[in-house]
Structure 1
Amino acid sequence: MPAGYAEHSDTGVVVVGAGPTGLLLAGDLAAAGVPVTLVERHENGSELTRAFVVHARTLEQFDQRGVADDLVSRGRQVAALRLFDKAVVDMSGLPSRYPYMLVAPQYETEGVLLRRARAAGVQFVRPAELTDLTQDAQGVTATLEDGRTIRGHYLVGTDGHRSTVRRLIGEPFPGRSVVKSVMLADVLLKDEPGGAATNSIGDRFTFIAPFGDGYYRVISWDRSKPAEDRDPVDIEELKDISRSVLGTDFGMYGPRWSSRFHSDERQVPHYRVGRVFLAGDAAHVHSPAGGQGMNTGLQDAANLSWKLVSALTGGPDLLDSYHSERRPVGSKVIKGSGALLRMAMLHSTAVRTARNELVTAALHVPAMARRLPLAISGLWVKYPAPRHAHPLVGTRAADARLRGSPSRLYEALRAGRFVLLDTGGLHEREAREVATTGRLDIVVGVDPDAQSMLVRPDGYVAWAADSAYPDSKGLRHALRAWVTG
């Protein structure tokens, strides 16, 4: 039996792929008491370090799991992004406890999530490679390369852009390559660039951001010099590209890690096929512009995990809503990051100059200055709501101060249950019986004029009512639809 391998025959959910998406998902399931087995082909995790930006909405999700402070302490907070020469995107006004981009190596994010998953009781099977899967009306059987099988009620593929799970269920991955050779490197700099910086000229592009440990992540490409993913990265080429697009190479030296990859824009038609689900890069890939890849995958996991728990513990079957909620988000991220990439790759000097002036001017318009940081941070996401629903339904629930302990809404969400934020006790009677089932917690906000809200375990609003207009009937309907079934 290989080192680190554990034998399992039955489990609640099989998760394939131990990158950030798989670790968050598995940790959520185990924390809720669902037996979960995580299959990973590498001995020590995904062995990738491409992602390095953690955005505000992801940090809020980490806060709702009690691990945000750990990760924040391991990264560098960057509150502004210099975009297209002179334009500056200011993140400091975000309506969040995390008004910045956190720059941290992917292995730090994985480490925080791995420790949580282990503490919650996730069973790891690694190194082991999935070779086949079959599903029936009762569950899914996963076959590993050594012939062993794992049986689960559901299986989730979080195994990256070359997903074996996606191939085995016959799901296509339509799209195209947009940059054929992207260079990544973690380097030291003799001169501080003052936060994060990015620019492009013609075929050349460079992005530089600080990790906080003295190293900087560099993303560069030169479309006039295509290379294979396996080709080494030459720091002299990185310096040359940086000088041509940023005016300096900041004294770049001492790379500790480097890699190449090609950037695609692709998305599966279906995030669910029977009892099998796809999340993260297994479901969607897009350009590195905006640093959305890992963050979007983590939001997939946060959306899916509690719905699996509900289906497995006698609650409503909400699993189809995973596709209907998350696929449109993935599509918008592909379009948004693609638009940024295409703006970065303009060839004409006159057109680039016009782009720079236009973007700079747009960011001086208050509405745009608010909108772009919201889009980058992930705070913009809104899920579909019924007609005539309160405007807050489907939106992210902002953190709120509570009476007593826990003292914040996001702390109350750490139990993994629905939370009724009740203003003035107007709706407690309707929710009290549901609370006895262990699926709902009732908390009271400090602000008497704030809306009452039924908040889903992923921090999005399922029902809301203004303090002056109680909606007992609407709450009862929402509790049946979302909590009790």
Structure 2
Amino acid sequence: MNTTTDMPRGDSSTPRGAPDADVLVVGAGPTGLLLAGDLAESGIDVALLERRDHESNLSRAFTLHARTLEQLDARGMADELLRIGTPTRALHPFGRLSIDFSRLRTRFPFILTIPQWQVEGALLRRTEEAGATIVRGARVTGLRQDPDGVDVDVSHPDGTMTTLRARYVVGTDGVGSTVRRSLGMPFPGRPVIRSVMLADVLLDRAPDDIFNFSSNEEGFTFFAPFGDGWYRIIAWDRREQAPDDAPITLADVRDITERTIGDDLGMHDPRWLSRFHSDERQVPHYRQGRVFLAGDAAHVHSPAGGMGMNTGIQDAANLGWKLAAVLHGWADDALLDSYHAERHPVGRMVLRVSHALLTAVTTGSLLVRASRAVLATVVHQLIVVEARAARGISGIGITYRAPRGSHPLVGRRVPDLRLAEKPARLYEALREGKFVLVGRDVAAVAAPWAGRVVTAFPAAGLRPTLLVRPDGYAAWAAEDPDPDEVREALAQWLGPVDREGA
């Protein structure tokens, strides 16, 4: 689908302070699409600006992890993607290190291999159906903010320039983010690997494992299936460190594959060949005034572990409901500071884990290769144990800091609880995009906040009363609370009932 929507406003006649949209999202990758869809479904006037004038069918990312699938399940999208993708329950990158996802307590105890363009297509359909404005061929060239809003300069394919105004702007425009540069935001870090080759190919012979990885003194080769006969190859030749724009041929990929696994598997008919280098970088602040950064615009790391697209989507899930709450007047602006407080440590953890995995697979000395089990132990020490590695890489183990004295569940991901009535699962109840109050005899207490919270009666065995945020984390919990305690928690998170929109 090729969507181009004109925004008639944003010219010089627009009075200063009159926004063209509540939120402008810059960049229509998975992060921006999920965020724009969430905001539009929440009744927020959102416009999504994308410099590409067409959808991409390239597949730079190809992995969805369990926590991301849970977020998509909370939006009614996971089952559609499960029908397309290929699940894998464990990774065996080298030696004795096995990352087993099958033991995770989730509806999705696996990695789902699926091309990024298919994920984007599903997110785009949802965003359009929700009523977001999508403007293609819109290249952001700069922005300025003041206490009331943000002015964004946009260049269009016909050469015209417009200035759009929004109450908030979110940069989801990738590693080369114009939004980040316009803020003057530093992006500290360093390159960690260069001249990595990517190829989507057909094979005459399937690899031994679903995710086949091999490394030696020559480099490494990694195969991942898309489920439709095509395979993604990620290959690195230690002896050939060409720049990103150097020509690449299928023969180059065949050569390193033969030198690492002893067989090129009869690869043929490449539909995509590319080189890239990988940096490890993270901005110091995810928020600057009325402008936010998410996804690769805020953090970038090696592809080891397949966490890039997933971390960006989870950034968006964290930020979207907070922007909606503030824009609807249900929460104070201070809530938006919690986006950085919660997601910046996650980005830092992802950099640390992906760096450990990359170091493990690219170390080429004879001593280290002869002691691969020892190297695996080093990785174990960094991410503690295999079970914790699976929880960290999958996102299931991510928690947010809770205020002192809170119930132990606060700040933790809430699993997909069984409910006694329809909807039958917590993540089905979250599809309304609201908080969910799970407890017995809470419907009457929550009635004044009916437009902001869904109540659910738990199945047998659940004791704590839980207030679950729209992103599936526990905002508040208590053992056998009285009605006044519940009202206090609802007022804290959803605002007093006399505010507009109650």
1:295 aligns with 2:306: no
1:433 aligns with 2:445: no
Q: How does 1:386-465 map to 2 (within 5 A)?
A: 386-422=403-439, 424-425=440-441, 427-435=442-450, 438-465=451-478
In the TM superposition, residue 326 of structure 1 has moved relative to its aligned partner by 0.5
Alignment match, 1:180: 194
1:235 aligns with 2:250: yes
Alignment match, 2:170: 156
Specify every segment of 5 or more residues in structure 2 that has no aligned partner in the other structure, as ranges: 10-19, 497-502
Equivalent pair of 2:95/2:372 in contact (CA under 8 Å) = no
1:97 aligns with 2:107: yes
C-alpha distance in 1, partners of 2:220/2:445? 57
Q: How does 1:11-50 map to 2 (within 5 A)?
A: 11-45=21-55, 48-50=58-60
Which letter does structure 2 place at the counterpart of 1:126? R
Q: How does 1:258-273 map to 2 (within 5 A)?
A: 258-273=273-288
Greater mean alpha carbon deviation, residues 351-360 or residues 161-170: 351-360
Equivalent pair of 1:179/1:223 in contact (CA under 8 Å) = no
Alignment match, 2:14: none
- TM-aligned CA distance change 1:448 to 1:85, over 3 Å: closer
1:138 aligns with 2:148: yes
Secondary structure at the residue paired with 2:161? Answer: coil
In the TM superposition, residue 342 of structure 1 has moved relative to its aligned partner by 0.7
Greater mean alpha carbon deviation, residues 86-95 or residues 270-279: 86-95
- TM-aligned CA distance change 1:115 to 1:209, over 3 Å: same
Give the fraction of aligned pairs with identical amino acids, expressed as a percent. 52
Matched pairs, number: 475
Alignment match, 1:310: 325
Alignment match, 1:479: 490
Alignment match, 1:118: 128
- TM-aligned CA distance change 1:43 to 1:407, over 3 Å: same
C-alpha distance in 2, partners of 1:55/1:95? 13
In the TM superposition, residue 242 of structure 1 has moved relative to its aligned partner by 2.3
1:63 aligns with 2:73: yes
1:81 aligns with 2:95: no
In the TM superposition, residue 86 of structure 1 has moved relative to its aligned partner by 5.6
Secondary structure at the residue paired with 2:454? Answer: strand
1:108 aligns with 2:123: no
Cα deviations by residue, 1:289-329 (Å, 9 ceiling, x for unpaired): 00011100000000000000001001113101001111110
Secondary structure at the residue paired with 1:172? Answer: coil
Equivalent pair of 2:197/2:276 in contact (CA under 8 Å) = yes
Q: Which of 341, 350, 370 is 2:367 aligned to?
A: 350
Equivalent pair of 2:61/2:306 in contact (CA under 8 Å) = yes
- Please give the root-mean-square deviation of Cα atoms over the aligned residues, in Å: 2.1
C-alpha distance in 2, partners of 1:450/1:186? 50
In the TM superposition, residue 347 of structure 1 has moved relative to its aligned partner by 2.0
C-alpha distance in 2, partners of 1:439/1:471? 21
Which letter does structure 1 place at the counterpart of 2:38? D
C-alpha distance in 2, partners of 1:190/1:3? 37
1:210 aligns with 2:225: yes
Equivalent pair of 1:463/1:475 in contact (CA under 8 Å) = no
1:191 aligns with 2:186: no
Q: Which of 239, 253, 268 is 2:268 aligned to?
A: 253
Which letter does structure 2 place at the counterpart of 1:248? D
Cα deviations by residue, 1:312-361 (Å, 9 ceiling, x for unpaired): 00111310100111111001100110111111122223322323366389
- TM-aligned CA distance change 1:3 to 1:400, over 3 Å: closer
Alignment match, 2:336: 319
Equivalent pair of 1:5/1:127 in contact (CA under 8 Å) = no
TM-score scaled by structure 2? Answer: 0.90
